[in-house]
Amino acid sequence: MSRLLLGVSGGIAAYKALETARLATRQGHSVRVIQTPTSQRFVGRASFAAITGAPVLAGEFDPDPARGAYPGEPVPERAPISHLALVERAEAFLIAPASANTLAKLAHGHADNLLTTAALAAACPVLVAPAMNDRMYRHPATQANLDTLAERGVTVIAPGEGELASHGEHGVGRLPEPADLLAIWEQAARGSGAWSGVRVMVTAGGTQEPIDSVRFIGNRSSGRMGYALAERAAARGATVVLVAANVKLPDPPGVSVVPVRTAAEMKLACEAHASSSDVVLMAAAVADFRPVSPAASKLKKDRGVPLLELEPTEDVLSDLSAHRLPGQVMVGFAAEHGEQAIDYGRSKLERKQLDLIVVNDIARTDIGFDTRKNEVTLIRRDGLEETIPRADKSQVADRILDEAQRLRATTHGEDDGAARTASVGATTP
């Protein structure tokens, strides 16, 4: 996890900064916050302190009880210079909301408060998320300031369009949603890490095999696990393509989504993208069977009960495993039912020649299909097993990605420090 610094300037959108900080800490990041004096008129220091578990600074002469440390770190013996310590240890500095006044100060190198002073001292990636009235945002001075910051390497997160703070006004100037801000913030922090430049393909959801023009054979997979994997991989700096089978979830930020319906369509999409991907995470639940001859129109009840003849669908994971690239790490997912789940997982590990398999028991109603939480067991080819206790699927996804990274490093080696290719295949809710 990363050390993230959040700067909050004055504006009604400061409430979204509070939620962004909450989401970041929920993901396990260590977060510190710097506020401008004006921002405290919208959200008080105590709110950010309660969420991050760390003191919030607003002035250059504010004492810092944590002495520049981030949550979870030991407090140094000596007190550092406040405007240098927090940003010196930060892996990414996000200023959200960034008011027109703060943007002007940053563009012209002013250092009249702790936030702008810290920005001048930042060696880590700096990101600004403008939020203001649309007329202020479109003003040539604001646009020129944003251009100046972008030319200097600052990441400008474009505002959204919609209702503004002023009653009845609509336009460009809304601060992006907290989840989107966090994804970009995380990606900046991870940009120089092991996943930077890694191309990832993820599959998610459940395929649907048509019986007639309205009915199909399918499963209860919501796609949440696959979407969590895609989102967390993107947050680590990877370039992610998500092949989504019948998923009704918002697209993860920064991820290219390819919709498919059937197992045959998924196979074609995987073949198209896997060959150019460094990491393949197949978290989709692919149907094992499909009707041999689906009806072109709707089958009518008054014509009797139809006899369905089934045939096997394509085994996408086996096909990818058979054509694995040199140096690939293959990881499978197994959604199994009941007491034999682990045994079935071990069998699949051997049968499909995988390096790792992730097993979850779909007999439980509190994890797996169409829930926000999961509990899985990781089984490696060397026989070691590890249970990841019940947690949010995003946290489970992070642990799976950690293990995939470990396998790349230890199984195939990384002489030059670059990440080796990994493929992860799956069938999971």
Catalytic entry in 219, 246, 360, 374: 219
CA-based end-to-end distance of the chain: 25
Please give the radius of gyration of the chain, using alpha carbons only, rounded to the nearest integer. 25
The angle at the Cα of 66, spanning 21 to 36, to the nearest 5 degrees, equals: 50
Cα separation, 360 vs 317, whole angstroms: 17
Residue 374 appears among annotated catalytic residues: no
- Compute the Cα dihedral for 325, 330, 336, 339 and give only its sign: positive
Known catalytic residues are 219
